[in-house]
A = this chain, B = another copy of it.
Amino acid sequence: MAGAIEAKLQELGVDLPVAATPAANYVPFHVSGKQLFISGQLPLIAGGPEFKGTVGSDVDVDTAQQAARACAINILAQAKAALGDLDRIAQVLRLGGFVSSAPDFTNHPAVVNGASDFLVEVLGDKGRHTRFAVGVAALPLDVCVEIDALLAVE
């Protein structure tokens, strides 16, 4: 039987993808004590849209927010792979938000809100996190957003 969080995802029409497996010598997550570390997630969803390019030049804020939401969906997919049950999430403690940014683009917080809003929509207060949002020169596979995460778990 799926837990309350997965029921909420269903209600929102979100299917968690199969958690991506790293193609190199690292892991997508570690549980250590009561903390769950999740590797930087890209906005790649099989069969979904591609979120490539640089925000402020060839990607607009609305599209980048959708990309950030896709990163957050992949964070939850990794959390499910790590925990079995998303109801074990006690708190999203921290997101690190990297936005591929034109030098004159300065609204990185609005972009990362795509992830923050989604996590609060799904997890309620347990989804409220600390974060940073910065504009970087380039990201892997030319994606426009990358987000890593630290969660407290039960």
Contacts and interface: CB of A to CB of B under 8 A. Distances in A.
Chain A interface mostly: mixed
Nearest to A152: B32
A127 B25 CA distance: 9
Contact of A24 (B23, B33, B109): B109
Nearest to A95: B26
B152 A130 contact: no
Interface residues of A, number: 57
Interface of A: 23-30, 32-34, 37-40, 54, 56, 91, 93-96, 98, 101-109, 113, 116-117, 119-120, 127-142, 146, 148, 150, 152
30 contacts: A25-B119, A26-B116, A26-B129, A27-B128, A27-B129, A30-B91, A30-B94, A30-B129, A32-B93, A32-B152, A33-B34, A37-B150, A38-B130, A39-B132, A40-B131, A101-B137, A103-B138, A106-B140, A106-B142, A107-B140, A108-B139, A109-B140, A130-B148, A132-B146, A134-B136, A134-B139, A134-B140, A136-B136, A136-B137, A137-B137
